[in-house]
């Protein structure tokens, strides 16, 4: 069995790891799972910005994504949270 490797981003990732005891990413073999990553931006045009960036960086494919209305995210200043699973080829 492949041993998992866990990762945190220096800076805010380290602070949240110490405060909440979680890792931001885990790799097992060729699979990478990234935990929900929050966005802290007071700009209210998040969907338009994300769509523009998707079109810019992925013009030939539209990624899957889910928009959910929630009462609150992990921290009061968060405006978005992203979770990713990737297969490394």
Q: Express each pLDDT in 1-58 by its tens digit.
A: 688 898 888 988 888 788 878 888 889 899 888 877 666 655 577 778 878 888 999 8
d(CA 40, CA 9): 16
Q: How many domains does the chain have?
A: 1
Give the pLDDT score at 2: 83
**pLDDT of 73-88, one tens digit each?**
888 888 777 778 888 8
CATH number at residue 69: 3.30.1330.40
- Which of 22, 46, 47 is CA-nearest to residue 35? 22
- Please, are residues 54 and 62 in contact by the beta-carbon 8 Å criterion? yes
> Residue 28 belongs to what domain range?
5-87
Between the CA atoms of 9, 60, 87 and 19, what dihedral angle is there, to the nearest 10 degrees?
20
């Amino acid at each position: 069995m492949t041993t998992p490797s866990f990762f945190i981003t220096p800076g805010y990732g380290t602070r949240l790891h110490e405060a909440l005891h979680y890792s931001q990413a885990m790799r097992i073999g060729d699979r990478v799972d990234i935990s929900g990553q929050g966005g802290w931006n007071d700009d209210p045009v998040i969907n338009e910005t994300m769509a523009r960036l998707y079109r810019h960086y992925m013009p030939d494919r539209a990624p899957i994504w889910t928009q959910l209305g929630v009462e609150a995210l992990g921290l009061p200043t968060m405006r978005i949270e992203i979770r990713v699973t990737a297969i490394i080829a």
